[in-house]
């Protein structure tokens, strides 16, 4: 049985603008992606996906041993089951310290584990609880997990390549403490359970135990980060999934396609293979509508209106027929700050329409609304990426905080971002991630938050 899950580790595009402009209209209608969040390839069946408005971004998926069903899990721990996947419970009604980032199926498909960013493990059905890293200080957050073939053990993998083994899961080595060119984004176990692979954001593969090395994209220039991997049933190959929907094939992994040619281009955050290796599913979390309800420790007066407006703008290609960088929030130029200030203005915040991210910092400072990057933000705050507000080279990107966990992890909605060529970017959901780890996960650090 090959069961692989990955975390949502997104890399947003770096954008910056420099001229002062005005909004082009009083409002923009909601335009969410029209997909179903799950894209099936090869013999992977489309068994359905949740409709309506979800409370939190979808972060993980696991398949049943038959390949005729699957579960989906959101950052809030809500679980959705389809096909022959039984519903065995969830954390959707619980108050979590940190977000859920992945899941794995038990050996017979009658249970599953959920894993949090902080290493907490939650067992349902016949999946045994065998320990976790919850409550332990980690050097880097957990980004995924994999189960042993008999379901009596599991591994957790952190962004620094650290491996934590529980139950009968053997420790075969790790990348913890070693230099990585990019953070680890996922793992897969061998059919015997006597080895595993780790994959990094640049597509570098690290094989341990009886896991064979079948190739990688490490050292190659690829358009977007690798977000996860899945292994073939006999361990003779594996697939790597790019954030842009490109699938890379190694060893005996079959070529079944990806989403890179679809329009609009929706970020892919996980890949899960069928049990016979004849297909796989890709998880596209931006395909759903989100309310981002809870679990934020505190909120501001404008939080609900701001997050609702931001979430309603998650969309595909924003090109409105006027050329590169065209967008509904201002002129045809880089527009992440235009988006953030449009959201605030539409919610009644008396902020000018700023095209430069550093201007948001200056405005917040003049109104005593600045928070350091180490602070716990509230939904509706603007997150400012870079090293400072001085120039477009140091203040490179911004977005709207949509959800906050007590441990400080956040989910954001960001304009002029996503897996598309510069000038053709979108409004996307990013995270969950810890702001302190933003440099590794997003390509640039967080230097401040601005309150509306």
Boundary (domain end) residue, out of 287, 316, 335:
287
How many Cβ atoms sit within 10 Å of the Cβ of residue 367?
A: 13
At residue 304, the pLDDT reads 92
How many Cβ atoms sit within 10 Å of the Cβ of residue 422?
A: 12
At residue 3, the pLDDT reads 35
pLDDT (tens digit, 9 = 90+) per residue, 261-280? 776 678 999 999 999 999 99
Is 227 within the bounds of a domain? yes
Q: pLDDT-derived band of residue 414, with 50, 70 and 90 as boundaries?
A: very high
What are all long-range contacts of 111-115, with beta carbons under 8 Å and residues at least 24 apart? 111/151, 112/62, 112/71, 112/79, 112/88, 113/145, 113/147, 113/154, 114/60, 114/73, 114/77, 114/79, 115/142, 115/144, 115/145, 115/156
Tokens of 292: 């981002």
How many Cβ atoms sit within 10 Å of the Cβ of residue 372?
A: 9
Boundary (domain end) residue, out of 287, 322, 339:
287
pLDDT (tens digit, 9 = 90+) per residue, 313-341? 997 556 555 678 989 999 999 999 999 99
For residues 150 and 107, the answer to whether their CB atoms sit within 8 Å is yes
Report the domain count for the chain.
Answer: 2
For residues 310 and 383, the answer to whether their CB atoms sit within 8 Å is no
47: helix, strand or coil: coil
Q: pLDDT-derived band of residue 176, with 50, 70 and 90 as boundaries?
A: very high
Is 145 within the bounds of a domain? yes
Q: What percent of the chain has pLDDT over 70?
A: 90
Assess whether pLDDT exceeds 80 at residue 8. no
Boundary (domain end) residue, out of 223, 253, 287:
287
At residue 317, the pLDDT reads 56
Could you tell me the pTM of the whole model? 0.91
For residues 173 and 216, the answer to whether their CB atoms sit within 8 Å is no
Q: How far apart are CA 44 and CA 230, in angstroms?
A: 13
Q: How far apart are CA 311 and CA 314, in angstroms?
A: 6
Domain that holds residue 403: 296-450
Assess whether pLDDT exceeds 70 at residue 32. no
Are 51 and 189 within one domain?
yes
How many Cβ atoms sit within 10 Å of the Cβ of residue 191?
A: 16
Are 105 and 134 within one domain?
yes
Q: How far apart are CA 122 and CA 108, in angstroms?
A: 17
């Amino acid at each position: 049985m090959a069961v692989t899950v990955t975390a949502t580790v997104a890399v947003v595009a770096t954008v910056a603008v420099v001229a002062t402009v005005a909004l082009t209209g009083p409002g923009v209608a909601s335009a969410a992606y029209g997909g179903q969040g799950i894209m099936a390839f090869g013999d992977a069946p489309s068994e359905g996906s949740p409709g309506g408005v979800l409370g939190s971004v979808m972060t993980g998926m696991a398949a049943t041993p038959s390949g005729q069903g699957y579960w989906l899990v959101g950052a809030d721990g809500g679980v959705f089951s389809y096909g022959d996947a039984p519903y065995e419970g969830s954390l959707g009604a619980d108050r979590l310290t940190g977000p859920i980032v992945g899941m794995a199926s038990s050996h017979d498909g009658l249970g599953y584990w959920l894993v949090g960013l902080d290493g907490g493990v939650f067992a349902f059905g016949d999946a045994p609880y065998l320990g976790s890293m919850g409550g332990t200080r980690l050097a880097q957050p957990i980004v995924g997990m994999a189960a042993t073939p008999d379901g009596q053990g599991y591994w957790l993998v952190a962004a620094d390549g650290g491996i934590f083994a529980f139950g009968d899961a053997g420790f075969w080595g790790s990348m913890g403490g070693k230099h990585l060119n990019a953070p680890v984004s996922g793992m897969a176990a061998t059919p015997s359970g006597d080895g595993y692979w780790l994959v990094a954001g640049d597509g570098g593969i690290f094989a341990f135990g009886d896991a064979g090395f079948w190739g990688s994209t490490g050292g190659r220039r690829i358009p977007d980060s690798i977000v996860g991997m899945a292994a073939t049933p006999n361990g003779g190959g594996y697939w790597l999934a790019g954030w842009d929907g490109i699938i890379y094939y190694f060893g005996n992994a079959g070529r079944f396609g990806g989403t890179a040619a679809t329009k609009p281009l929706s970020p892919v955050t996980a890949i899960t293979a069928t049990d016979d290796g004849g297909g796989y599913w890709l998880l596209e979390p931006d395909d759903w509508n989100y309310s981002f309800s809870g679990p934020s420790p505190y909120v501001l007066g404008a939080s609900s209106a701001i997050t609702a407006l931001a979430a309603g703008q998650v969309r595909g290609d924003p090109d409105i027929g006027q050329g590169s960088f065209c967008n509904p929030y201002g002129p045809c130029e880089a527009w992440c700050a235009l988006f953030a200030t449009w959201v605030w203005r539409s919610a009644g915040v008396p902020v000018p329409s700023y095209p430069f991210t550093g201007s948001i910092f200056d405005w917040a400072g003049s109104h005593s609304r600045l928070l350091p990057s180490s602070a716990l933000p509230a939904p509706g705050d603007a997150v400012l990426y870079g090293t400072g507000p001085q120039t477009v080279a140091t203040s490179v990107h911004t977005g709207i905080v949509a959800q906050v966990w007590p441990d400080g992890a956040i989910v954001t909605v960001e304009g002029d971002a996503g897996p598309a060529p510069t000038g053709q970017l979108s409004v996307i959901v990013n995270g969950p991630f810890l702001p302190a780890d933003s440099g590794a996960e997003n390509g640039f650090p967080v230097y401040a938050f601005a309150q509306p």
